[in-house]
Structure 1
Amino acid sequence: MKNLRLIWVLLLVLMIGGCDLFTGSDDEIKEPTAEKKFMWNAMNYWYYWQGEVDELDDEFNDDKSKFYNYLNNNSDAEELFESLRHPEDDFSFFIDDYEEFQDEQDGVYAALGFNYGFIRISQTEYMGYVRYVIPNTPAEEAGFKRLDLFTEVDGNTITENNYLDLLTSDSNHELTMVHLERTEDDFTIVEDSTVSVNSEEVVEDPVLKTEVIDTAGVSIGYISYNAFRDNYHSRLNEVFGEFQSQNIDDLVLDLRYNGGGSVLTSQLLASLISGLGSNDKYATLAYNEKRSERSRDLYFLDEVPLKDEDDEFNNSEPINNLSLSTVYILVSRSTASASEAVINSLKPYMDVTIIGLKTVGKDEGSLTLYDTSPPYLDDSDANPDHKKAIQPIVTKIINSQGSDYPDGFAPDGYVNGECAENADGSDVVDNCINEITVDNLIERPALGSPDEPLFSRAIDLIIGQTAKQKQATETRLPTLREIEIKNGVQDLRPNGNGMYIEPFMVPTDEK
């Protein structure tokens, strides 16, 4: 009887106090951090796939308890961001410190000073290779050269399980260097020495190399351009002024290591090549249904936009365009986003010849979003309590004929993911060329050299010469397989495969 009375007393207390002990009142729910609330609001506002992610539905935050619980169930803002990404989204990313990220976009970051990739030698053997070396960096001081090879990092043999983690841009490293030597019908790996390379602040000029080659009565300009950086517009224009002064007949644009960057800079490069201007449509930025009123057309440029001391595009200079009708573009599996936008946007107006391997297929653009008021674009008014930001995909870029490029661009002769071969094992005479061959790794031609396979093919096409064939008596050493790395370029540049929109290019007035 006493137990029964106790039960009734407890029930009476619950009835007087309401049902909050069972359901939890709004006052008892822990308020999410400012970073998490910003993350959801900005993604709900801009994200390209907003309408396809249930947790980003406009009504998802109507139920405060459910909404706060969802945000709090993620351990931090980055985990929340990842939970909101659409399955098709390979390129949006979280920014831990937006001031460091802004420096990275300007080409200033901690690095070793060389761009690298990895090669599978056999089922169990792997090695790294140097794609290129930035001048005046620790890698150059250590004596690194293009197509140098290494098999160990800090005493660790490169394997399938560790190759992504061995080299970090903010640490010093020791690399075990090797080279290849021919045997009677194969090759062998010969160890050389261990080389130390330090990590320091690197400033990268995106124009790595330029050359002018005169052959068979034709003047050919060559430029290796490795990132679309909006603070190097004058430098890019200067290079094209040099091409102008030397009266080049044709241009070879090397984008094989260019993972992207500024959409505005891609407009500039395409304008420098083509001579097209503000009456000619470059592309359309197409946003999601929720932000469709912001979709807009972009046009080629009549002048070169330059930043002022406040980092705003309030200055300009005359443009040194070439007005070409044909361009030869060297590409690889690392060519992405803004590089592909140049290809896509020039195709309706001129002959674009692709040489190399199939490109990534990133036809999506992003914005840097800060914890500030909508539309989340002004970092000067961002929440001072943290430096978190996000770089979500917000738009598709489509050329003047309505074409995008989700599958990338493949050169002639690219079949089922590989360069086609003749019955005798030699390459089909076409534009599909893999630079990672044993022959090339032994000979190690420099970028811009007529002996470099991709540039050599471009020269042959320009002067009307058939592609060079191996002599039947010469043993043809194998083509090796570079490891394809998800989400773009594995190299010295942080987030090297992004394509971003300048905030001033985004209409902010609602209709």
Structure 2
Amino acid sequence: MKYLKYFALLLLFGNTLTGCFDDNDDVQQVSSTLEINDYIWKGMNVFYLYKADVPDLADNRFSSNQAFTQFLQGFSSPQVIFDALQTKQIDPTSGLPVDAFSFLVDDYVALEQAFDGITRNNGMEFGLVVYENDPNNVFGYVRYILPGTDAETKGLKRGDIFNTVNDTQITRSNFRELLAPDTYSIGLAMLDGDNITPLGTSISLTKVQYTENPVFIAKTMNVGGSPVGYLMYNAFTADFDTQLNAAFGQFSADGVTDLVLDLRYNGGGSVVSAIDLSSMITGQFNDEVFTTEEWNADLQEQFGSINLFKNEIRTGEAINSLNLSRVYIITTRSSASASELVINGLDPYINVIQVGATSRGKFQASITLYDSDDFGRQGADPGHTYAMQPLVLRSINSVGFTDYFDGFAPEIEVTENYSNPGGNSNLGVLGNENEPLLKAALDNILGTRSAKSYHNIQLENIGNSNMYDLNYERMYRDIDLSKTE
């Protein structure tokens, strides 16, 4: 492969590192920290999007084997060297880190499962919000319940509020620790205005391995005499592209004239699935430019590509296209990466009307790098299960727009109302035409929008149930490195 030319200087270094270890085919060798650090540096040196901003990743950084080895030995763990090799640049316009999304895992099997929609889950998909009158305390609200899970069995529902876990108040400093275990108990509460009152009810929940179908709701509604499609899509999960295409097949059969695409809780996923979804919404732009990809200077010629609107999903099945000239997309701060790729890629072609709140701001994608000769899965070092997911490209739409660190602001602003006075939630029922965010989109379709009727009180969201997923708010590119010429 072409990028192996960058190993010319380091090939001897690698031999130096591995020559110190016993070669015994009958004994499973556990990779040393030095060996794993070696793999991390080499992978980042070849693929990292912001390589030019990190002096320690320069091809001529080391003058000798000894200097390279001493550098690697200066890092106590793979995580420490991985963090050190990321750019520390700050975007001058937004004030945000240029790279907030590269990550390293010590169990790539779990990462692969996350990409397939497999997680440990109790079925309670929740958001975490800071108290309006106390910046340290936090409450959770139930976004939706996954079918066939413990949360469904226990009777939890969208709009339920909880403010304690295992009888401990949720705070900014403890929420990750409290909600991480496989089993915990939540204390239900009532939110009325800025007052939170415990209800004295505790519910125990247990996580098990669960595969989530991201096509959560797909239905056609009669809106003013016209068929309008509504799709709540919660992750760009490659394994469910067929189900996504089937939903559009039904929309097509129903003759929908408008589509409301609900990405409010969709943190992203596969770039290919995002291209396919955009092609399903349209269809009239087949083989035209959806986005282009910018890699680092060393790899742009080899990997930089143009993504086109398509007429087939990855299985070869024909895409069910709606040929729409406008689409309504519901977003919140939890809408990230591939969700934003759909907005940015479609915007030059059709009228994209965004409803809800400003999205996350994520335009870069990553790939999985394993510890093998070509960084592909096949031949990965059996001595460890580390894998990297560094940012390797940024996406640019057909008119050159990218670097949307601040996210995309909605044309129609409406926020979710978490309060549940008297136990009656104001969040509404997902997919119901009176659910506030969906209603705002339908009002616009009908021409009856009244901004005064929408809830626009902003409270600070600091996390959600997907924050424990290894691919949380990440966008990844599907590339088989072992087949790259």
TM-score, structure 1 length as denominator? 0.82
Q: In the TM superposition, what whole-angstrom CA distance separates every residue of 1:327-383 from its partner, at most 9, and x where no partner exists?
A: 000000111111100000001110000011111110001010011113x1x202211
Alignment RMSD (CA, Å): 2.4
Cα 1:467–1:437, aligned 2, differ >3 Å: closer, same or farther?
farther
Task: Please list, as runs of the form range in 1=range in 2, the aligned pairs for 1:314-393 lying within 5 A after superposition.
Answer: 316-374=316-374, 376=375, 378-393=376-391
- Of 99, 107, 122, 2:117 maps to 107
Rg comparison, structure with higher value = 1
Cα 1:505–1:357, aligned 2, differ >3 Å: closer, same or farther?
farther
Question: What is residue 473 of structure 1 aligned with on the other side?
Answer: none
Shift of 1:482: 3.0
Question: What is residue 81 of structure 1 aligned with on the other side?
Answer: 82
Task: State the distance in 2 between where 1:343 and 1:477 align.
Answer: 23
Task: Please list, as runs of the form range in 1=range in 2, the aligned pairs for 1:157-236 lying within 5 A after superposition.
Answer: 157-168=169-180, 170-181=181-192, 189-236=197-244
Question: What is residue 451 of structure 1 aligned with on the other side?
Answer: 434
Q: In the TM superposition, what whole-angstrom CA distance separates every residue of 1:177-215 from its partner, at most 9, and x where no partner exists?
A: 112357xxx755341400010010111001111222112
Cα 1:335–1:365, aligned 2, differ >3 Å: closer, same or farther?
same
Q: In the TM superposition, what whole-angstrom CA distance separates every residue of 1:292-313 from its partner, at most 9, and x where no partner exists?
A: 212110101111212xxxxxxx
Task: State the distance in 1 between where 2:167 and 2:465 align.
Answer: 24
Shift of 1:141: 1.6
Question: What is residue 396 of structure 2 aligned with on the other side?
Answer: 398
Q: In the TM superposition, what whole-angstrom CA distance separates every residue of 1:42-79 from its partner, at most 9, and x where no partner exists?
A: 00000011111011111123332232122112111122
Q: In the TM superposition, what whole-angstrom CA distance separates every residue of 1:143-172 from its partner, at most 9, and x where no partner exists?
A: 22112110100111111221232101x510
Partner secondary structure for residue 231 of structure 2: strand
Shift of 1:469: 4.0
Partner secondary structure for residue 189 of structure 1: strand
2:59 corresponds to 1:55: no
| Conservation of the 8 A alpha-carbon contact between 1:276 and 1:301 | no
| Unaligned segments of structure 2, at least 5 residues | 1-15, 21-31, 89-97
Cα 1:492–1:97, aligned 2, differ >3 Å: closer, same or farther?
closer
Cα 1:334–1:464, aligned 2, differ >3 Å: closer, same or farther?
same
Task: State the distance in 2 between where 1:436 and 1:70 align.
Answer: 52
Range moving further from structure 2, 123-132 or 249-258: 123-132
Cα 1:290–1:464, aligned 2, differ >3 Å: closer, same or farther?
same
Shift of 1:439: 6.8
Q: Read off the aligned partner of 1:481 and give its amino acid letter.
A: L
Q: In the TM superposition, what whole-angstrom CA distance separates every residue of 1:445-470 from its partner, at most 9, and x where no partner exists?
A: 11111121110000000011122645
| Conservation of the 8 A alpha-carbon contact between 2:128 and 2:141 | yes
| Conservation of the 8 A alpha-carbon contact between 1:259 and 1:334 | yes
TM-score, structure 2 length as denominator? 0.86
| Unaligned segments of structure 1, at least 5 residues | 1-25, 307-315, 413-430, 471-475
Q: Read off the aligned partner of 1:406 and give its amino acid letter.
A: F
Question: What is residue 90 of structure 1 aligned with on the other side?
Answer: 100
Partner secondary structure for residue 318 of structure 1: coil
| Conservation of the 8 A alpha-carbon contact between 1:240 and 1:321 | yes
Cα 1:411–1:466, aligned 2, differ >3 Å: closer, same or farther?
same
Cα 1:181–1:190, aligned 2, differ >3 Å: closer, same or farther?
farther
Cα 1:491–1:51, aligned 2, differ >3 Å: closer, same or farther?
closer
2:477 corresponds to 1:501: yes
Task: State the distance in 2 between where 1:292 and 1:203 align.
Answer: 36
Q: In the TM superposition, what whole-angstrom CA distance separates every residue of 1:416-449 from its partner, at most 9, and x where no partner exists?
A: xxxxxxxxxxxxxxx1111035379733311111
